[in-house]
Amino acid sequence: MNILVIEDNESVCSMLSMFFLKEDFQSTFIHNGTEGYNHLMENKYDMIILDWMLPGLDGITICRKIRENDNSTPIIMLTAKDTESDQVLGLEMGADDFVSKPFSPLALIARIKAVFRRKGNPIESETIIDSSIVKVDKNTREVVVDNLPVTGLTPKEFDLLAFFVQYPKQVFSRDQILQQVWGFQFYGDDRTVDVHIKRLRRKIARENQPFLHTVWGVGYKFDETVVVNED
């Protein structure tokens, strides 16, 4: 999938570029509204990510101008404007969805996929996640570690492992893990993440390799290259 991102915050663009690469999304980033719109008039994209507040043309004007000639390309707006009237205006101008700032890149990716599903064009996701040691089959829900099958994983433990293996060495906070594995409507104790990771770590560990590592004061990461002893 080829995505155009019109966003003036270059640090946000850099972060999105990394996550899009992991999803095999091709992406182009433009930091000025007028330049972004002119570029779009000469190029075709599968998805447009559009910031509301931009130098040059603002996002809502770009959205309206796009919809004058194109009713099919999905548009997701990034906005700090979270009032109902602002969102109604954006929808009236043709936006398909909103993501409020600040946001998680993983949350944005989930919204991108959801918009495509609503439009009848689901993004085919990778069904087998295969690192050098751990293999996760999302269709059969089977796990192999160091060529040996792992049994006894609960559904949530499987989802947790599948999530981590997709993003090796990337550190995630408890809140990010809850959003991506438990879902946006989870209201329980974030310590449930600690409990599940501790159980999962014991089930998949090989000798002194727990795979799931604690990053103190931050969260957790999946890393096959670090060998330590962890409870």
- CATH number for the domain spanning 184: value is 1.10.10.10
- The amino acid occupying position 154 is T
Nearest to 136 by CA among 163, 155, 162: 162
Range of the domain at 147: 128-222
Residues 137 and 58 in one domain: no
- Total number of domains constituting the chain: 2
pLDDT digits (tens, 9 = 90+) for 37-61: 999 999 989 999 999 899 999 999 9
* End-of-domain residue from the set 118, 145, 163: 118
Q: Which residue has the higher pLDDT, 176 or 13?
A: 13
Q: What is the pLDDT of residue 7?
A: 95
Nearest to 192 by CA among 183, 182, 202, 184: 182
* End-of-domain residue from the set 118, 141, 171: 118
Please report whether residue 208 resides in a domain: yes
The answer to whether 143 touches 204, Cβ cutoff 8 Å, is yes
Residues 113 and 136 in one domain: no
Residues 54 and 20 in one domain: yes
Q: Please give the span between the terminal C-alpha atoms of the chain, in angstroms, as a whole number.
A: 41
Residues 111 and 133 in one domain: no
Residues 157 and 179 in one domain: yes
Per the listing, tokens 């879902």 go with 183
Please report whether residue 230 resides in a domain: no
Task: Please report which confidence band the pLDDT of residue 87 belongs to, taking 50, 70 and 90 as the band edges.
Answer: low
Residues 132 and 114 in one domain: no
Please report whether residue 228 resides in a domain: no
Q: Which residue has the higher pLDDT, 201 or 225?
A: 201
Q: What is the CATH number of the domain that holds 107?
A: 3.40.50.2300
The answer to whether 218 touches 173, Cβ cutoff 8 Å, is yes
Please report whether residue 151 resides in a domain: yes
pTM for the predicted model, two decimal places: 0.58
